[in-house]
Amino acid sequence: MNVEKNAQDLNITRHEAAVSYEERCRILGQRGAVIWLTGLSGSGKSTLADRVSADFASRKKIAYILDGDNMRHGLCAGLGFSDEDRNENIRRIAETAALFCDAGIIVIVSVISPRKAMRDDARRIIGDAHFFEIFVKADSALCAERDPKGLYRKAKDGRIREFTGVSSPYEVPENPDLVVDTANMTPEEAAEYLLNFIVPKVTL
């Protein structure tokens, strides 16, 4: 179904709120933004998201994590791992992040998003001015060595199909806003590096 055409047929239009984005940001004392963490499973996205979120809290800034695994328990429940379902998974997460961002919240998205087209669509949905693509860099060998969930082992044994980094490709970002090399940084160093980049962009 073409959702956009269906909306037009029903004369569904976007309602402009009485309180503007700028006013919401002024009230919160911060700018809305989406920090999109992309990288292989085991690269350190969730750890980085947690540390950055905690740091924002210590600064009295409102940040919220949209974790890929958590999203699949709710909003994205029922989606599989076909190309179509993966695209829809990223679309739903991006649309959700866009709403949070418009509310003036700093959103930290932690999701593999293996295809360039997926990340480009997320940027389009959220808006270039508010979207920051952060490549959490660690090669598949290191991620498999870490393997915090045992997923690489299951994928290599054939118990998980279409697993990114083993049986499904990951397209490395060509021009991310920032590369956080977790292979050569401690979790503390990685969080500090990202915060040094992003804090000036969300501070009024």
Q: Residue 111's closest CA among 179, 38, 191, 33?
A: 38
The structure tokens listed for 8 are 């037009």
Q: Would you call 113 a catalytic residue per the annotation? A: yes
Contacts of 37 (CB under 8 A, 6+ apart): 45, 48, 49, 108, 109, 110, 111, 134, 136
Region at 29 (left for phi over 0; alpha for psi -120 to 50; beta for the rest): left
Which member of 113, 140, 167, 168 is catalytic? 113
Question: Annotated catalytic sites, by residue?
Answer: 113
